[in-house]
């Protein structure tokens, strides 16, 4: 694609990077076929190609974001299906990241939207605030339908609907500390505790710690680590996202320098995609660029790491698992085979749903901010998953678990919960 940025504009490294990305796009439109919003809405401006044109126009003219551009960028799930499809290697992820930061800096959203976004950014990344908010939601839930009928309050009604009815007690495993390997130690890893997942499903990291320590891996929950920053990163709140990244880089490198680390294990693929991008996010910070690149190089999804451990094949269990590949897993991190191979090796029959490339509509805070599109995508995903008639659905991202669970009675668990069970751990709750 031809671009017309001035040398002065290109002196800004963010603009220069976006220009290089834009120039790779050849307008072919292949990406439209796999874009969930284009497939759902049928509007070119809700396709990757349409958004690329909008971003180009906004950046090239050095203008503030307008309502049309914001509307269509906000509808993007950041699912990155377009990056998997694109034959020209267009790095849409970093382009839309830049666009979101530009929007945040130059566009004044309506008061209600600003309020909702501030509430999300100030609550979700902090486990104690999030837990408190979920418990408080029990009092507001009877009013959810009333709130959803009032345009200005609709988002709060959606939030109440999405809040789980019971909130598990915090897990002792989420506290900073070291979980010793059983028997001879063959490895040492840090485990991201993070923010929302340990509040919603603490059993996922408990299963991870049980499985890894049984396999001889020492697991460290690092003091000082927290939310990876993905939630605010996708809202364009770059300072908050970079602060989260720097805090985690410091926490993990301290542990790595003290006792060595083979990997930083992540059990939520949405977080994994962001942590693997820390090197890029902090590339312009001389104090953190090298350190962040080191952390990104150590970041591994738990299934990626387990694949290196040569787990023994288990007897068939007579249980059918349909594997839902989270967008951040298959498109963000390009991990497609490892989780399914591990499940097969563990004795499960593994099935793939139709349209596995399409997002379930969770996408961080998307199901709160864009509930109509999210609901359509959820219904489509649940229909495809149910058609495979599984005993259980497995996936590697807490957002997908929460989203899909509200649309089906088929149990849905994290892949590592099934693996822990197959290799001597507890049966996952709900099975
Ligand atoms: S990230 Fe997903 S929703 Fe956004 S343009 Fe790409 S395919 Fe479409
Ligand atoms: S597939 Fe790639 S090159 Fe083709 S229009 Fe989409 S982003 Fe551009």
pLDDT class of 124 with cuts at 50, 70, 90? very high
Does the Cβ of 25 fall within 6 Å of ligand 2? yes
Cα separation, 254 vs 248, in Å, equals 10
Of ligand 2's atoms, which has the minimum distance to the CA of residue 26? 3
Structure tokens at 10: 């290109």
Q: How confident is the model at residue 144, as a pLDDT?
A: 85
Backbone angles phi, psi at 192, to 5 degrees: -70, 125
330 & 356 share domain: yes
Q: What is the mean pLDDT of residues 42-63?
A: 97
**Is the pLDDT at 147 greater than 90, yes or no?**
no
pLDDT class of 202 with cuts at 50, 70, 90? very high
**Is the pLDDT at 145 greater than 90, yes or no?**
no
pLDDT digits over 207-260, tens only?
999 999 999 999 999 999 999 999 999 999 999 999 999 999 999 999 999 999
In angstroms, what is the span from residue 90 Cα to ligand 2's centroid? Answer: 7
pLDDT digits over 185-196, tens only?
999 999 999 899
336 & 382 share domain: yes
Residue 61 lies in a domain: yes
Choosing from 162, 182, 205, the residue where a domain stops is 162
Residue 274 lies in a domain: no
Structure tokens at 82: 């377009």
In angstroms, what is the span from residue 143 Cα to ligand 2's centroid? Answer: 44
Residue 169 lies in a domain: no
Does the Cβ of 27 fall within 6 Å of ligand 2? yes
In angstroms, what is the span from residue 25 Cα to ligand 2's centroid? Answer: 5
In angstroms, what is the span from residue 20 Cα to ligand 2's centroid? Answer: 14
Choosing from 66, 89, 106, the residue where a domain stops is 106
Q: How confident is the model at residue 381, as a pLDDT?
A: 98
95 & 70 share domain: yes
In angstroms, what is the span from residue 81 Cα to ligand 1's centroid? Answer: 6
Structure tokens at 85: 């499809």
Q: What is the mean pLDDT of residues 114-124?
A: 94
66 & 136 share domain: no
pLDDT digits over 76-91, tens only?
999 999 999 999 999 9
Cα separation, 299 vs 292, in Å, equals 11
Our mutation pick for probing the ligand 1 site, out of 25, 37, 326, counting the most ligand atoms within 8 A of Cβ, is 37
Share of the chain above pLDDT 70, in %: 100
Cα separation, 189 vs 168, in Å, equals 26
Backbone angles phi, psi at 219, to 5 degrees: -120, 125
Q: If you write DSSP's letter for every residue of 347-396 in order, what string do you get?
A: T-EEE--TTTTS--S-TTTHHHHSHHHHHHHHHHHHHHHHTT--SEEEES
**236 or 154, which is more confident:** 236
**Is the pLDDT at 33 greater than 90, yes or no?**
yes
pLDDT class of 206 with cuts at 50, 70, 90? very high
Of ligand 1's atoms, which has the minimum distance to the CA of residue 85? 7
Structure tokens at 12: 């800004």
Segment (H or E) for 56: helix 48-60
Q: How confident is the model at residue 164, as a pLDDT?
A: 86
Cα separation, 403 vs 394, in Å, equals 13
Cα separation, 15 vs 28, in Å, equals 23
In angstroms, what is the span from residue 301 Cα to ligand 1's centroid? Answer: 22
Cα separation, 236 vs 239, in Å, equals 9
Q: How confident is the model at residue 155, as a pLDDT?
A: 86
93 & 137 share domain: no
329 & 347 share domain: yes
19 & 101 share domain: yes
Residue 295 lies in a domain: no
> Hey, whose CA ends up nearest to atom 8 of ligand 1?
35
> Hey, whose CA ends up nearest to atom 5 of ligand 1?
48
pLDDT class of 146 with cuts at 50, 70, 90? confident
> Hey, whose CA ends up nearest to atom 2 of ligand 1?
79
Give the count of domains, the chain: 3
416 & 328 share domain: yes
Residue 191 lies in a domain: no
**Is the pLDDT at 173 greater than 90, yes or no?**
no
pLDDT digits over 276-321, tens only?
999 999 999 999 999 999 999 999 999 999 999 989 999 999 999 9
How high is the mean pLDDT of the chain? 96
116 & 59 share domain: no
**Domain containing residue 348: CATH number:** 3.40.50.1860
Strand segments (E) across 156-312: 177-179, 187-191, 217-221, 263-266, 299-301
Neighbours of 121 (CB within 10 A): 17
Cα separation, 76 vs 316, in Å, equals 41
**Domain containing residue 23: CATH number:** 1.10.1060.10
Of ligand 2's atoms, which has the minimum distance to the CA of residue 92? 7
pLDDT digits over 378-414, tens only?
999 999 999 999 999 999 999 999 999 999 999 999 9
In angstroms, what is the span from residue 253 Cα to ligand 1's centroid? Answer: 33
Choosing from 91, 106, 121, the residue where a domain stops is 106
Does the Cβ of 239 fall within 6 Å of ligand 2? no
Mention every residue, 6+ apart, whose C-beta is less than 8 A from residue 251. Answer: 222, 223, 224, 225
**Is the pLDDT at 140 greater than 90, yes or no?**
no
pLDDT digits over 339-381, tens only?
999 999 999 999 999 999 999 999 999 999 999 999 999 999 9
| Ligand 1-lining residues (CB < 6 angstroms) | 35-37, 48, 51, 76-82, 92
Domain residues for the domain of 122 are: 111-162
β-strand partners of 285? none
Measured between alpha carbons, how far apart are the two ends of the chain, in Å? 51
pLDDT class of 153 with cuts at 50, 70, 90? confident
334 & 415 share domain: yes
Residue 211 lies in a domain: no
Q: How confident is the model at residue 360, as a pLDDT?
A: 98
Q: How confident is the model at residue 82, as a pLDDT?
A: 98
Indicate left, alpha or beta for 177 from its phi (over 0: left) and psi (-120 to 50: alpha).
left
Q: What Rg do the C-alpha atoms of the chain give, in angstroms?
A: 21
Residue 189 lies in a domain: no
Three-state DSSP class for 320? strand
> Hey, whose CA ends up nearest to atom 4 of ligand 1?
76
328 vs 20, 77, 123, 395, CA distance in Å?
A: 24, 11, 22, 11
pLDDT class of 427 with cuts at 50, 70, 90? very high
DSSP-assigned letter for residue 337? S
Residue 216 lies in a domain: no
In angstroms, what is the span from residue 275 Cα to ligand 2's centroid? Answer: 26
Matching residue, tokens 């083979």? 262
């Amino acid at each position: 694609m031809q671009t017309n940025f001035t040398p002065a504009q290109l002196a800004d490294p963010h603009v220069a990077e976006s220009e290089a990305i834009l120039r790779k796009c050849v307008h072919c439109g292949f990406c439209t076929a796999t874009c969930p919003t284009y497939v759902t809405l049928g509007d070119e401006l809700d396709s990757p190609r349409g958004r690329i044109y909008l971003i180009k126009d906004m950046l090239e003219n050095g203008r503030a974001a307008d309502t049309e551009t914001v509307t269509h960028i906000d509808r993007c799930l950041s699912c990155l299906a377009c990056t998997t499809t694109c034959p020209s290697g267009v790095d849409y992820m970093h382009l839309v990241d830049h666009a979101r930061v530009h929007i945040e800096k130059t566009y004044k959203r309506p008061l209600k939207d600003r309020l909702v976004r501030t509430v999300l950014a100030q609550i979700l990344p902090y486990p104690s605030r999030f837990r408190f908010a979920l418990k408080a939601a029990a009092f507001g839930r009877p009013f959810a339908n009333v709130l959803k009928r009032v345009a200005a309050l609709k988002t709060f009604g959606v939030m109440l609907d999405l809040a789980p009815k019971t909130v598990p007690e915090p897990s002792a495993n989420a506290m900073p500390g070291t979980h010793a390997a059983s028997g001879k130690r063959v490895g040492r890893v840090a485990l991201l505790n993070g923010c929302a997942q340990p509040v919603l499903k603490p059993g996922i990291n408990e299963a991870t710690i049980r499985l890894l320590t049984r396999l001889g891996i020492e697991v460290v929950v690092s003091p000082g680590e927290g939310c990876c920053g993905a939630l605010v990163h996708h809202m364009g709140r770059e300072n908050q996202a970079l602060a989260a990244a720097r805090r985690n880089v410091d926490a993990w490198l301290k542990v790595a320098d003290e006792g060595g680390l083979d990997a930083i294990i992540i059990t939520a693929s949405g977080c994994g995609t962001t942590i693997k991008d820390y090197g890029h996010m902090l590339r312009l910070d001389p104090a953190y660029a090298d350190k962040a690149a080191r952390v990104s190089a150590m970041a591994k999804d738990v299934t990626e790491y387990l694949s290196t451990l040569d787990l023994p094949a288990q007897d068939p269990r007579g249980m059918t698992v349909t594997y839902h590949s989270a967008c951040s897993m298959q498109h963000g991190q390009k991990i497609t085979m490892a989780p399914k191979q591990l499940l097969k090796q563990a004795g499960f029959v593994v099935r793939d749903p139709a349209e596995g490339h399409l997002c379930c509509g969770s996408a961080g805070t998307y199901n709160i901010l864009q509930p109509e599109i999210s609901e359509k995508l959820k219904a489509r995903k649940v229909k495809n998953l149910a058609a495979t008639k599984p005993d259980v659905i497995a996936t590697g991202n807490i957002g997908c678990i929460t989203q899909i669970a509200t649309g089906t009675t088929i149990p849905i668990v994290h892949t590592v919960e099934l693996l822990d069970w197959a290799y001597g751990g507890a049966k996952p709750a709900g099975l």
